[in-house]
């Protein structure tokens, strides 16, 4: 294994390191930037297509298309494409949370058969190409099998994070009109048995769901409604082969809901062709996947990282990867170290919030974790202390830290230094992926200078894996992503700057989205949920800094005259509306909220109470006296 060389404020891979890497020098950037469309065109050829595309890139602002005319199936590329060379190679190792249970191991051939069988089951249930199937499942192998089976027959999967509340599930099922929902009886989390089927039932009430398929995981008793069935019962009698649907490159592969500034979550749509190309190539070049690797991404399949790097990316590359059911610090704080040692993990992908938690709980890592070669982070900006701890204690100073920037909307990683090239500079995501053109603009659309903050944008030809729309909401697509700088510039809603060498550092969001333990939560959506209660006159939600979670929500509520409510009531609204992940750190009942003369709530001021920043000029407020009142409340 290679070593890292420190030059000034960053690390670079040495010769040994480059030897193993797919990309060894800068030439790939030069080549890709000369003609990004041709670059992706060449990459796409390495995958299996039933029919080659006619046009590589087509721009119809604000929409764009990749590989039109091409026919592809991602499940074929994940399974058949690997069968010849890797038939009996382990694809997936599943680690259950309870330590007295054994792991389950699937070879590529095992997975192939399971996916085919379940694809046939779906067909038997009447699922057709283009239908939407809901997946509300924990971190178990069947979740991945379900996703791949949908993809195999051309059904569109929409995965809903298992910790989301029934109401959150309900909104997503109703937006997509899913007729089938796949779930599990339960799962284990922190030693507790979670009853998922009960939530699935509550969430599918009042939707078009007519059949719920349940995987037996905890073997707990469930209520069986009309039309419900068990996974093992339907899959058992199915044939081992189901012909893969030949999908148009631009057909929708999946919809994944994510939070934006306002109101309801958006259904981000990803396309069969471009997404496959991007998932394959980013996983390969960024994680340097080769046949000896054991890859572990801790991301839940309910999020995009789980889709692309806990499922599709490693499978497309024929990699052996780990899927872990539970929380990484249960039952011991260093459970995650034991998993790395147990399976000899070479590549570990996790989030800053987990890294900070590990640092706090474990401090000095006793295990030598000597199999690790690459370690990576995603989801929110990683602070310098966490970066350095991760680098020294987990990577033992020998593994590059890849800080990977991307979004639900981008489908795959867009900014990170490549392992064989570097540099790895603490808190900097690094270089855009070859062929990806980014810029940092001021509010007028002018490029900012090095070290100056601005809005991070992505320029044509964007990248093949980026979203193709917002489900049933073209207006929102245009306004959110192509509304800031015209319909040819994708606005990421992130603030960033570049250093002199062009390395990108992400500062944070430009909108009302906060990152709570890596989860993307809209303060606007939380406000809507609280406001919808008739006791509440108005409210404001802001994200404040938190040592482990990065950010955490704080809620300010103004009640209607003569109405009473407790913190518990507000908490209930939020956990029922979204889930426990949005649980506020604090709820304050106040008489009034600071507002401008035009009536705009000044959330910035509310936030500053907690950051210790200067409150600034308050004279423009319509009601400056509220500031003191709130200050006193918080102090108490």
Least Cα distance to 515 among 499, 494, 536 occurs for 494
Q: Which of 228, 494, 525, 551 binds ligand WT7 (CB under 6 A)?
A: 494
Interaction of residue 62 with ligand WT7, rule CB under 6 A? no
Interaction of residue 541 with ligand WT7, rule CB under 6 A? no
φ, ψ dihedrals at 352, nearest 5°: -55, -35
Nearer to ligand WT7, 402 or 593 (CB): 402
| Shortest distance, position 545 Cβ to ligand WT7, whole Å | 15
Question: Of 278-286, 404-412, 541-549, 590-598, which segment contacts ligand WT7 by CB under 6 A?
Answer: 404-412
Interaction of residue 406 with ligand WT7, rule CB under 6 A? yes
Question: Of 226-234, 401-409, 549-557, 573-581, which segment contacts ligand WT7 by CB under 6 A?
Answer: 401-409
SS3 513: strand
Q: Helix H segments across 15-56?
A: 15-20, 27-34, 36-44
For residue 307, give the H/E element and its range. Answer: helix 304-307
Interaction of residue 506 with ligand WT7, rule CB under 6 A? yes
φ, ψ dihedrals at 536, nearest 5°: -95, 130
| Shortest distance, position 426 Cβ to ligand WT7, whole Å | 12
Q: At what angle are helices 567-577 and 166-176 packed, to 10 degrees?
A: 40
| Shortest distance, position 379 Cβ to ligand WT7, whole Å | 5
How many whole angstroms separate alpha carbon 37 and alpha carbon 459?
12
Q: Which two tokens stand for residue 130?
A: 């283009």
| Shortest distance, position 210 Cβ to ligand WT7, whole Å | 31
Interaction of residue 438 with ligand WT7, rule CB under 6 A? no
| Shortest distance, position 493 Cβ to ligand WT7, whole Å | 6
Interaction of residue 350 with ligand WT7, rule CB under 6 A? no
Nearer to ligand WT7, 86 or 607 (CB): 607
Please state, in angstroms and as integers, the Cα–Cα distance from residue 164 to each residue in 126, 420, 580, 582, 600, following that order: 27, 39, 8, 10, 31
| Shortest distance, position 557 Cβ to ligand WT7, whole Å | 26
Interaction of residue 404 with ligand WT7, rule CB under 6 A? yes
How many whole angstroms separate alpha carbon 518 and alpha carbon 136?
20
| Shortest distance, position 298 Cβ to ligand WT7, whole Å | 12
Question: Of 189-197, 317-325, 373-381, 475-483, which segment contacts ligand WT7 by CB under 6 A?
Answer: 373-381
Nearer to ligand WT7, 138 or 260 (CB): 260
Interaction of residue 77 with ligand WT7, rule CB under 6 A? no
Which residue in this structure is represented by tokens 């400056």?
624
Interaction of residue 131 with ligand WT7, rule CB under 6 A? no
Interaction of residue 455 with ligand WT7, rule CB under 6 A? no
Please state, in angstroms and as integers, the Cα–Cα distance from residue 515 to each residue in 263, 300, 380, following that order: 17, 15, 7
Interaction of residue 520 with ligand WT7, rule CB under 6 A? yes
Q: Which two tokens stand for residue 62?
A: 């604000």
Interaction of residue 376 with ligand WT7, rule CB under 6 A? no
| Shortest distance, position 494 Cβ to ligand WT7, whole Å | 5
CB 431 within 8 A of CB 416: yes
Interaction of residue 286 with ligand WT7, rule CB under 6 A? no
Query: Could you tell me how many residues make up the chain?
Result: 636
Nearer to ligand WT7, 229 or 459 (CB): 459
CB 154 within 8 A of CB 249: no
| Shortest distance, position 273 Cβ to ligand WT7, whole Å | 20
The number of angstroms, rounded, from the C-alpha of 110 to the middle of its chain's C-alpha atoms is: 27
How many whole angstroms separate alpha carbon 131 and alpha carbon 446?
43
Nearer to ligand WT7, 389 or 406 (CB): 406
Q: Which of 274, 379, 430, 524 binds ligand WT7 (CB under 6 A)?
A: 379
Q: Which two tokens stand for residue 596?
A: 């401008």
Interaction of residue 194 with ligand WT7, rule CB under 6 A? no
Nearer to ligand WT7, 214 or 350 (CB): 350
Q: Helix H segments across 335-473?
A: 335-343, 352-362, 384-389
Interaction of residue 405 with ligand WT7, rule CB under 6 A? yes
Question: Of 169-177, 225-233, 318-326, 406-414, which segment contacts ligand WT7 by CB under 6 A?
Answer: 406-414
Interaction of residue 509 with ligand WT7, rule CB under 6 A? yes
- DSSP bridge pairs for 159: 135
- DSSP bridge pairs for 323: 94
Interaction of residue 408 with ligand WT7, rule CB under 6 A? yes
Nearer to ligand WT7, 258 or 393 (CB): 258
Interaction of residue 305 with ligand WT7, rule CB under 6 A? yes
Least Cα distance to 456 among 383, 405, 512, 404 occurs for 405
Interaction of residue 542 with ligand WT7, rule CB under 6 A? no
Interaction of residue 23 with ligand WT7, rule CB under 6 A? no
Q: Which two tokens stand for residue 175?
A: 């937006």
CB 159 within 8 A of CB 184: no
Nearer to ligand WT7, 148 or 286 (CB): 286
Q: Which two tokens stand for residue 189?
A: 């989390």
Nearer to ligand WT7, 28 or 429 (CB): 429
Ranges of beta strands (E only) in 219-319 are 229-230, 247-248, 252-258, 266-271, 294-297
SS3 430: strand
Interaction of residue 381 with ligand WT7, rule CB under 6 A? yes
CB 504 within 8 A of CB 432: yes
SS3 458: strand
Site residues (vs ligand WT7, CB under 6 A): 258, 304-305, 378-381, 403-408, 429, 492, 494, 506, 509, 515, 520
């Amino acid at each position: 294994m290679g070593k890292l060389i420190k030059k000034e404020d960053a690390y670079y891979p040495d010769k040994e390191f480059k030897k193993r890497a797919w990309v060894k020098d800068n030439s790939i950037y030069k080549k890709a930037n000369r003609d990004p469309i041709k670059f992706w065109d060449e990459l796409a050829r390495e995958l299996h297509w039933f029919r080659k595309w006619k046009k590589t890139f087509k721009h119809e602002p604000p929409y764009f298309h990749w590989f039109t005319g091409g026919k592809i199936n991602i499940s074929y590329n994940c399974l058949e494409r690997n069968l010849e060379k890797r038939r009996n190679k382990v694809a997936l190792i599943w680690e259950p949370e309870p330590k007295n249970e054994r792991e389950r191991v699937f070879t590529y051939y095992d997975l192939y058969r399971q996916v085919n069988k379940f694809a046939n089951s779906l067909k038997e249930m009447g699922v057709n190409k283009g239908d939407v199937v809901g997946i509300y499942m924990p971190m178990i192998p069947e979740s991945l099998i379900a996703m791949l089976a949908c993809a195999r027959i051309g059904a569109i999967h929409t995965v809903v994070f298992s910790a989301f509340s029934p109401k959150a599930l309900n909104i997503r099922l109703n937006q997509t009109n899913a007729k089938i929902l796949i779930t599990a009886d339960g799962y284990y989390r922190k030693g507790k048995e979670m009853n998922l089927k009960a939530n699935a039932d509550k969430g599918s009430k009042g939707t078009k769901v007519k059949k719920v398929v349940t995987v037996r995981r905890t073997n707990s008793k469930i209520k069986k409604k009309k039309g419900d069935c068990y996974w093992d019962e339907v899959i058992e009698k199915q044939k081992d082969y189901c012909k893969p649907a030949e999908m148009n490159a631009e057909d929708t592969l999946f919809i994944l809901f994510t939070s934006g500034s306002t109101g309801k979550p958006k259904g981000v749509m990803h396309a069969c062709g471009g997404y496959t190309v991007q998932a394959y190539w980013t996983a390969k070049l960024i994680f340097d996947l080769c046949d000896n690797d054991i890859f572990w991404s801790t991301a839940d399949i309910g999020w995009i990282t789980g889709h692309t790097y806990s499922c599709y990316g490693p499978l497309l590359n024929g990699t052996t990867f780990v899927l872990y059911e539970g929380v990484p610090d249960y039952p011991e704080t260093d459970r995650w170290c034991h998993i790395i040692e147990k399976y000899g993990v070479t590549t570990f992908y996790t989030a800053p919030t987990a890294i900070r938690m590990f640092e706090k709980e474990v401090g000095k890592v006793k295990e030598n974790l000597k199999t690790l070669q690459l370690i990576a982070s995603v989801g929110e900006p990683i602070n310098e202390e966490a970066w350095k701890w991760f680098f020294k204690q987990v990577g033992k100073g020998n593994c590059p830290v890849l800080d990977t920037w991307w979004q639900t909307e981008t489908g795959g990683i867009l900014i990170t230094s490549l392992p064989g090239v570097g540099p790895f500079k603490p808190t900097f995501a690094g270089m855009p992926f070859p062929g990806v053109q980014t810029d940092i603009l001021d509010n007028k659309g002018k490029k900012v200078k090095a070290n100056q903050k601005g809005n991070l944008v992505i320029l044509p030809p964007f990248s093949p894996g980026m979203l193709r729309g917002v489900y049933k909401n073209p207006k929102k697509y245009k306004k959110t992503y192509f509304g800031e700088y015209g319909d040819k510039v994708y606005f990421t809603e992130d603030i960033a700057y570049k250093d002199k060498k062009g390395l990108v550092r992400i500062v944070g969001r430009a909108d009302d989205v906060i990152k709570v333990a890596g989860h993307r939560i809209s303060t606007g959506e939380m406000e809507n949920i609280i406001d919808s209660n008739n006791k509440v006159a108005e409210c404001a939600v802001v994200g404040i800094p938190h040592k482990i979670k990065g950010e955490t929500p704080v809620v300010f509520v103004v009640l209607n005259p003569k109405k009473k409510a407790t913190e518990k009531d507000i908490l209930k609204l939020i956990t029922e509306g979204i889930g426990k992940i949005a649980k506020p750190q604090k709820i304050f009942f106040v008489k009034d909220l600071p507002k401008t003369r035009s009536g705009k709530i000044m959330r910035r001021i509310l936030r500053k109470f907690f950051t210790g920043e200067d409150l600034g000029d308050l004279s423009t407020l319509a009601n400056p006296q509220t500031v003191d009142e709130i200050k006193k409340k918080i102090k108490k």
